[in-house]
Amino acid sequence: MANNYHSEFPYWSIYYDDEGYDIKGNRIMGRQAAGWSFLQALIKDDPKRISAYIKNQDQKELLLNKVKPLVKKDQKLEVDFIPYNQPFKSQPYGGIFLPGPGINDFASKRSIHGHDSYSLVGITHTTASHAVMSGISNIIMSDIMPWDAIICTSNCVLDTVEKIIDHRYQRLKSKFNISKPELPLLPVIPLGLDVDEFNYSKDFKKKSRLSLDINDEDIVIAYVGRLSFHAKAHHLPMYLAIEEISKELKDNQKIHIIQTGWFANDFVKDAFVEEGLKICPSIEFHFLDGKDQDNKHKTLAAGDIFVSLSDNIQETFGLTPLEGMAAGLPVLVSDWDGYKSTARDNVDGFRAKTISLPDGYGEDIAYRYMMNDINYDLYVGLSVQKVGVDIKDCIDKLRILITDDEKRKKFGKSAKIRAKEDFNWPVILSMYRDLSTELNKIRNTVSSNYETFCLKSLPSDRLDPFLTFSSYPSIILNKKTELYKLQNINNLSFKELLKFKSVEYAQRDLPSEDNIKTIYELFPNNNKLNVEEVINSSGIEESKVFETIVWLIKFGYLTTSGESDG
């Protein structure tokens, strides 16, 4: 069905939770920056209509407030809002796009609508937390289908996801007689960026440097991102390499390092500042507030080289080096995670070697994290102490970038072209559309192999309570159940009883007063009727009759216990 709509509505319905798209808070994460960039790109692509899957009215208002400034004056855009309890309405859009990898629960909830009714698409950010790893591990026991997908933002992330899934499968296989499970698609599609944001004029570049008292002949190292030695990138390898190169500068040159981001607390801030002064006495330090997007652009405009030596398992892609590349800066990044898929060594700059321990050496850390002996911050913080960035390799490569003006310009030009040709949002959105088309095709063809599984049903852990607990009652109402009118037990009017606090709280699910009266008045004194006779005589929908009869029994108007006292 989705194929009929695809050309008109090329994008999935976007699950919108403002927290995942907000870059104005005090703790901006990479996933939030990526979410906001994606939303901007979606509007800029000028679709006739987009869809948002939302939990409540507040989220609707938050999205509208974000979208309105992005819409051009002559742009006509409709936003179709899908209520949280009606996800099946995403079908014309091919399904729902979630800004994270956790689609298991959404797949479970899809069961009642039929698993072949729409697709679910998630995307990875960090894969290091227990919650994310648990979700990935449980994929093989979930309701996720082959027409669903989890986008992996780099080949390294794909490798991580596959390792987790395969380990769980091998463990289950050793206990149960199971064949390899059906998995979602795991396409590798990088994050995107709007390269037009990073086309700085010469005047802006000059003003940016002047505002920080940077001379023309000085070299500026730019870093943008979270300032965290335990959860992002340890600063000392970068400091040590820069200080070593500073000894080789011309007499009239200085190295400036601009670090633009945010600190989690004063302890982390003091570590950066105090250790920087101690390790790098020859370097001019600038710390700018990365929560202000203007500071990010000032940093990149003033920079000569972008440096990010990530050594943390929390990193999966790394958007900020791409922003540096889009600004025309050569990069020095660690040969780590998603950086391997973005910055080409000796083409867009350099990747510095990283070294970590063999498997087995981190089991103690993992166990302590599992047992809550250490928290997540300490888990990733301890692991980073066991990963090394080769500082000699950094020094050798940074020396080339600082001392060779021609090569620096050449790399910067290549980096800018690379960002535009391979990571600009129109390129990435095209990949999303291709994926949407592929998932629609799989769902419309392969789902016939899963007819029984795709039958509409609540999931096993959310079954109808009157099925799950069917052994609890003495009697389960059926069409042959005989009923008698009770008199002089409950003399309250139906209207009065329906207003009791102990009754009214369930107002949405109570039988109507009209249905109660109609059914009760069918019963002559001392005469019995069975449920089927009530259905035939009342003209009320069968399910409503059943619910009303139970209510009348509950509150002493009817009984199943034989003839009542006249």
Residue 31 is predicted with a pLDDT of 83
pTM attached to this predicted model? 0.90
DSSP collapsed to 3 states, 36-92: HHHHHHHHHCCCCEEEEEECCHHHHHHHHHHHHHHCCCCCCCEEEEEECCCHHHHHH
Residue 3 is predicted with a pLDDT of 42
Packing angle, helices 513-520 and 542-554, rounded to 10: 80
Q: Which CATH number fits domain 473-559: 1.10.405, 1.10.10, 3.30.1490, 3.40.50?
A: 1.10.10
CB of 241 closer than 8 Å to CB of 398:
yes
CB of 42 closer than 8 Å to CB of 71:
no
Residue 215 is predicted with a pLDDT of 95
Question: What is the radius of gyration, based on Cα positions, of the chain?
Answer: 31
Residue 23 is predicted with a pLDDT of 77
Residue 91 is predicted with a pLDDT of 94
Residue 33 is predicted with a pLDDT of 85
Beta strands in 335-416 (DSSP E): 349-352, 354-356, 387-389
Residue 182: strand, helix, or coil: coil
Q: Which CATH number fits domain 195-421: 3.40.50.2000, 1.10.1740.10, 3.20.20.60, 3.20.20.70?
A: 3.40.50.2000
For the chain, domain boundaries:
2-191+429-450, 195-421, 473-559
Task: Give the pairing of strands 149-151 and 119-123.
Answer: parallel
- Cα 137–Cα 98–Cα 64 angle in degrees, nearest 5: 160
Q: What is the pLDDT along the chain (566 residues), one digit of tens a residue?
A: 334 445 567 789 999 998 888 877 666 777 888 888 999 999 999 888 999 999 999 999 999 999 999 998 888 888 999 999 999 999 999 999 999 999 999 999 999 999 999 999 999 988 999 999 999 999 999 999 999 999 999 999 999 999 999 999 999 999 988 888 889 999 999 999 999 999 999 999 999 999 999 999 999 999 999 999 999 999 999 999 999 999 999 888 999 999 999 999 999 999 999 999 999 999 999 999 998 999 999 999 999 999 999 999 998 999 999 999 999 999 999 999 999 999 999 999 999 999 999 999 999 999 999 999 999 999 999 999 999 999 999 999 999 999 999 999 999 999 999 999 999 999 999 999 999 999 999 999 999 999 999 999 999 999 999 999 999 999 999 999 999 999 889 999 999 999 999 999 999 999 999 999 999 999 987 678 999 999 999 999 999 999 999 999 999 999 998 754 44
